[in-house]
Chains A and B, each alone.
Chain A
Amino acid sequence: MTDVLQLLVYGIVLGSILTLGAIGVSMIFGILRFAHFAHGDFMTVGAYIGLAAVTATGGSIWLALPAGMLGTAVVAVIIDQVLYRRIRRKQPVILLISSFGMALALRSLVQLIWGPDNQNYASGIQLPWRIEGIAVKPDHVTIVVAAIALVVTLHLFLTRTRLGKAMRAMSDNMDLALITGIPAERVIMATWIMAGAMAAAAGVFLGIDTRLHPVMGWTVLLPVFASAIVGGIGRPYGAIAGGMVIGIAMEMSTLFIDPAYKLAVAFAIMVVMLIVRPQGIFKGTV
């Protein structure tokens, strides 16, 4: 029983990270209508920008969060303005390939600047708290709490602000949003800012929970996509449900399967969802 609960703890932490990544992927998919394959590497970029901020100032590792979020939001907007916008005007179909290329380019840039080895925000091992025989690291708690805070902030943005509602409108029914006169480009820019910032947060948390490595984002890209699909594309609240389902499933699966195949578990759940109920739990766009 304690094994199960322990894995549940890990699952919730992983789920929080996946949720933050999935929200961005889901909104980009819902509004811009393409699967953003560079999203994992947005997470990587966020984590490393955070690392740069921490090492440059010698401050607390939690400085990585705002630094990474801001930096990645900027990177996301620049990439969209310079590259994706041109392509989506002419040939939206090749956005997929462009984003795949972007993924590799970002990864190489990170490796070029910071090198290929593992890095950490802080050295030393944290001692976990023990509650009823279950180990919970203070970092775990902070990650989950911070993720909740970010998601709540996002929720308020999407439901209380005009721009946030416009984002939901565009994701719901793009044609009608345009007819209503909603300024598409402004909403798109806001989407990239939000998605980039959320991905960066996911990356920083991933770096805190495990370690930093140039392919850290790519390795969770599939679970992130699985979370978005399971929850329902274009449904930010679906991303939360999907992230938790996938994260917990991945960790729990280690009770039965070799942990090396956690990815396969995420993949299997995603495939089943695509066959049985492609619009996901919260009925997003298919």
Chain B
Amino acid sequence: MELIGFLHYLISFLTFAGIYGILALGLNMQWGFSGQFNIGVAGFFAIGAYTSAILTTPGSPAYLGGFGMPFLVGVAGATLASTILGVLIGLITARLRTDYLAIATIGIAEIIRLLIKNEDWLTNGVRGIAGIDRPMAGWGMGLDTPIAFLVVVLLFVALTYYLVERARVSPWGRVQRAIRENEPASAASGKDIARFRLRAFVAGSAIMGLGGALYAHYFGFLSPEAFRPLYGTFLVWVMLIAGGSGNNRGALLGAVVIWALWSGSELLTSMLPSDMATRAGALRVLIIGVLLQVILVTRPEGILPEKAPRLPGKDRK
């Protein structure tokens, strides 16, 4: 009996780690590649999740929906919506100092959360959207299982990893790195730099939207609470920094390690009496927060530091 419970936990763990891994890969595009501080990851995450939910759920008189589209349409819609948001924000901020981009992204994430909470006609507000199906629902043959969804998530992780790795070693990726390291000295003009940063930003946003869609379909239920800065933004940043910013494998590793710490600590605190529950939750956040500072002071490059890509034609060192 215990083994089954453990297996269930493991599947759930890996699914969440995979989803967060995708978010981390997206953030790596923005921060790791082109040095842009997106502290509003939660906003892109939320847009993706809610778009997919609205597109795929059966209707309800309470809110917009009822399109009943299939899973992949939901995913595509989520990615598209998130991309659009990325373009909007990127256009405003691509030429500004990094700090201003960060402030703008915080603002956007908070406004999106406000929109989700208040625009009941669209999102059902704080009551949330329920009944988001997994892609295999209705296929029968016992395929609608958590493990099947895990496979779906892992497929998307692999696809995303492949795409971002290709981008990293491409000439485009090298230009991004040059811009990030050495902005004044890189040969590109101000206009070009802005364009490159915008592209990286938008690519990252798209990936975050994808993560959102996967989250919606896994969890089956969405509410504004899930997209508070803590869950949506902070954890992803800690994952990327711990794993290794600039390194895609680091992003995935960080997702697994930090998620292990986070959900592991939840297991521990769930054994406490329930009136201590919220305080225990705060303690877990505090620990992760302190952990982040320790990493930033002692090993800011993370577990897997960034490596420059091998140039084509050169021998291995």
Contact = CB atoms under 8 A, between A and B. Distances in A.
Interface in A67-110: 83, 86-87, 90-91, 93-94, 96-98, 100-102, 104-105, 107-109
A105 B300 contact: no
Contacts of A225: 103
Interface stretch (B1-9, B14-22, B218-226, B277-285): B277-285
A102 B289 contact: yes
Prevailing SS type, chain B contact patch:
helix
A214 B96 CA distance: 31
A222 interface: yes
Interface string A108-133: 11011001100000000000000000
Contact of B286 (A35, A112, A258): A112
B187 interface: no
A101 B279 contact: no
A23 interface: no
B268 to A, nearest CB: 16
Interface stretch (A13-21, A161-169, A202-210, A262-270): A262-270
A261 interface: yes
Interface stretch (A138-146, A147-155, A271-279): A271-279
B99 to A, nearest CB: 4
A260 B107 contact: no
A173 B110 CA distance: 34
A179 to B, nearest CB: 22
A151 B185 CA distance: 42
A286 interface: yes
B114 A101 contact: no
A136 B282 CA distance: 37
Given A97-B237, A267-B111, A37 B118 contact: no
B72 interface: no
B311 interface: no
A270 B107 contact: yes
B174 interface: no
A8 to B, nearest CB: 24
Given A112-B286, A222-B106, A35 B99 contact: yes
Interface string A206-223: 000000001000110110
Contacts of B238: 101
A264 B114 contact: yes
Nearest to A261: B114
A40 to B, nearest CB: 10
Contact of B110 (A97, A116, A222): A222
A34 interface: yes
Interface residues of B, number: 40
A237 interface: no
B37 interface: yes
A90 to B, nearest CB: 8
A29 interface: yes
Interface residues of A, number: 45
B283 A108 contact: yes
B106 A221 contact: yes
B96 A104 contact: no
Contact of A108 (B93, B100, B285, B292): B285
Interface string B264-303: 0000000000000011001101100110110011001000
Contacts of B35: 93
Contacts of B279: 111-112, 115
Nearest to A262: B114
A104 B289 contact: yes
Interface string A230-271: 000000000000000000000000000010110110010011
A112 B37 contact: no
Given A86-B297, A111-B282, A104 B230 contact: yes
B285 A104 contact: yes
Contacts of B229: 104, 218
Interface string B78-114: 0000000000000011001111101110111011001
A260 B114 contact: yes
A107 B114 CA distance: 20
B286 A37 contact: no
8 contacts: A94-B300, A102-B293, A258-B118, A261-B114, A263-B107, A267-B104, A274-B100, A278-B96
Report, nearest first, the 7 A-B pairs whose CB atoms are least far apart. A105-B289, A111-B282, A35-B99, A108-B286, A108-B285, A267-B107, A101-B292
Interface of B: 35, 37, 39, 92-93, 96-100, 102-104, 106-108, 110-111, 114, 117-118, 229-230, 234, 237-238, 241, 278-279, 282-283, 285-286, 289-290, 292-293, 296-297, 300
Given A83-B293, A104-B285, 15 more contacts: A35-B100, A37-B39, A37-B102, A97-B296, A98-B292, A98-B296, A101-B238, A105-B286, A105-B289, A116-B282, A229-B103, A263-B107, A263-B110, A267-B104, A278-B96
